[in-house]
Structure 1
């Protein structure tokens, strides 16, 4: 599991939540690969916690569809191409509509955060992890700025297979640049209060991502 900061004894009242958050991030960003075996003891030792919060976190991740229990062992789910397509179809609908709602509902602070996330990509290092993290933040901030709690929850549930490090490696340099230009176009449409254009750019962006996964195997 990739370390995201100093590790020390976790507060008892937040153990399961913290373990869940850390594992969820590693799964969504592709740090834990499909079909990887997750051993409760090893995870507990790495997080300096008992097995109980780890088990609770894994059970929550199973409900999210990210891990599965096989013969009393936890394994990272490997979605089929058809399942990935369905997930991206859902993302297209959710994020396109969210972009429209951002124009109507976002606060200036939320718009500033979206612009900052866009600029952070321009200053990101060459590593794939940094790019993936900034990309995830950009999309998450837009959905959160929609102001629709159920939409936000649905978006979280749709992140079973997301733009992770393995997916980023499928992109050609020119395609990564085009992805960033689409982000720029989306922010421009939002600031100009053009809902149709914001929706169109979002859909083009996400369907293009799935096309790359489909063409190059997504593995």
Structure 2
């Protein structure tokens, strides 16, 4: 068991990462003593972390219990609207301000992901890292903070669109187009490639949720 004196921010981060990685899914009940035992943290910082997550609408009340929140159809649509605009701006700014080193890291991420195509869970984790790296490459602290909030909410979607057959390969091709535009310092093309990428991911998710066959 870990040090019970770990600060609140660590308890918050541990729970948030568990939600983000799908260990706790929408509708799952979070219990203080179970979380404390799982993460090796005392109950007080766990309680404070849960209160913080509830304030951020990542957790919701079901009677006296706290459960991982979920997004309905309209909320998902609203989230994708905001995500598309903010990520498009991040790509546009990254094309102008990313260092050569940052661009090489993004390119290497795309190349490394070719080895993960058969593992949707690993590809999903890598996808989050890719987008985070792109956000940082925008060199705009306020934009990065807002995108962090958006991506926390993305964790409330029960599944990843990358698990749908063929989507991982297509997403990787889209990432390649984004990085190519960034390498060319073409801000308009970078924004267009990024927004097209998010639009396709959203459409794929909608088709999957509706129960129709997905052709991606």
Alignment-derived partner of residue 168 in structure 1: 161
Cα deviation code 1:55-79 (max 9, x no counterpart): 1111222233211133331100011
For structure 1, the residue ranges without an aligned partner over 5 or more in a row are: 1-7
Alignment-derived partner of residue 209 in structure 1: 201
Q: Tell me by how many angstroms 1:170 deviates.
A: 5.0
For structure 2, the residue ranges without an aligned partner over 5 or more in a row are: 212-216
Query: If the length of structure 1 is used for normalisation, what is the TM-score?
Result: 0.88
Residues 171 and 125 of structure 1: CA distance in aligned 2, closer, same or farther (over 3 Å): closer
The 4+ residue runs of structure 1 with deviation greater than 4 A are 162-165
Residues 24 and 186 of structure 1: CA distance in aligned 2, closer, same or farther (over 3 Å): same
Alignment-derived partner of residue 173 in structure 2: 181
Contact residue 34 and residue 78 of structure 1 kept, 8 A: yes
Contact residue 29 and residue 164 of structure 1 kept, 8 A: no
Cα RMSD for the two superposed structures = 2.1
Q: Tell me by how many angstroms 1:207 deviates.
A: 1.0
Q: Partners in 1 of 2:25 and 2:132 — Cα distance?
A: 22
Q: How is 1:94-113 mapped onto 2 (pairs within 5 angstroms)?
A: 94-113=86-105
Q: Partners in 2 of 1:67 and 1:217 — Cα distance?
A: 22
Contact residue 16 and residue 56 of structure 1 kept, 8 A: yes
Q: Partners in 2 of 1:29 and 1:152 — Cα distance?
A: 20
Alignment-derived partner of residue 19 in structure 2: 27
Q: Partners in 2 of 1:179 and 1:169 — Cα distance?
A: 8
Contact residue 30 and residue 164 of structure 1 kept, 8 A: no
Contact residue 100 and residue 199 of structure 1 kept, 8 A: yes
Work out which of the residue numbers 170, 184, 205 in structure 2 matches 1:192.
184
Contact residue 128 and residue 165 of structure 1 kept, 8 A: no
Contact residue 170 and residue 212 of structure 1 kept, 8 A: no
Q: Tell me by how many angstroms 1:169 deviates.
A: 5.8
Q: In the comparison of the two structures, how many residue pairs are matched?
A: 210
Is residue 118 of structure 2 the alignment partner of residue 126 of structure 1? yes
